Amino acid sequence: MRKGEKGILVAIAVIVLVFIGINSYRQTQVAEPDQGIPFYTTAATELQERGAHLLRLHACRDCHTLWGVRNPMQSVPSPALDGIGSLRSESWLYEYLSADDPQRILPTRLKAEYQMPSYAYLSETDRRTLAAYLASLRVEEWYLDEVKKSEYEKLTGETYRDGGDE
């Protein structure tokens, strides 16, 4: 190897090392404290199990995201159920699930086949269980605005600004 080539190799090695150094320094600087997953449930284990069972039985997750997992077959832009209990009360949820025409309570922008179906035909116990379980699905305060924004945009198809109540 000639002298000039050696010099170039050394220069490249130095540049690479400097970049690695800068990068690892930046990572220690930029890393924010991990706030974790903002969604949680206040339900006791038994309600969690009964609620999750009903959601599975009625295929709610064909249309709705829950626990951040999006069904890849899901094509309907329906609001996520994560954090829904921080937006809606248990009695609201019960009324909504019990309505013959849920679109009278919550207007839709979707074609009939994608809209929220009526679950008025379920037994009262099942509707109460679902409402209680949904009401237990909460979001941490620091992520609440994100949930409101995403719900608003799903329901209206419009961009959310300043509380979205224009």
Q: Rule CB under 6 A: which residues touch ligand HEC?
A: 55, 58-60, 62-64, 76, 78-79, 84, 88, 93, 96, 102-103, 106, 108, 110, 114-117, 119, 130, 134, 151, 155
CB of 96: closest distance to ligand HEC in angstroms?
6
* Least separation in angstroms between CB 11 and ligand HEC: 59
- Yes or no: say if 79 and 151 are a contact pair by the CB < 8 Å rule: yes
- Residue count of the chain, please give it: 166
Which of residues 32 and 165 has its CB atom nearest to ligand HEC in the complex? 165
- C-beta of 34 vs 101, nearer to ligand HEC: 101
Closest by Cα among 112, 51, 106, 130 to 76: 112
Rounded least distance, CB 140 to ligand HEC, Å: 18
Coil vs helix vs strand at 85: helix
Distance CA 67, CA 81 (A): 8
The C-alpha atoms of residue 9 and residue 17 are separated, in whole angstroms, by 12
Give the residue ranges of DSSP H helices in the chain: 3-30, 45-57, 90-98, 102-105, 124-135, 144-156
Q: Which is nearer to ligand HEC, 52 or 140 (CB)?
A: 52
User: Residue 2 or residue 104: which is nearer to ligand HEC going by CB?
Assistant: 104
CB of 80 to ligand HEC, least distance (A): 8
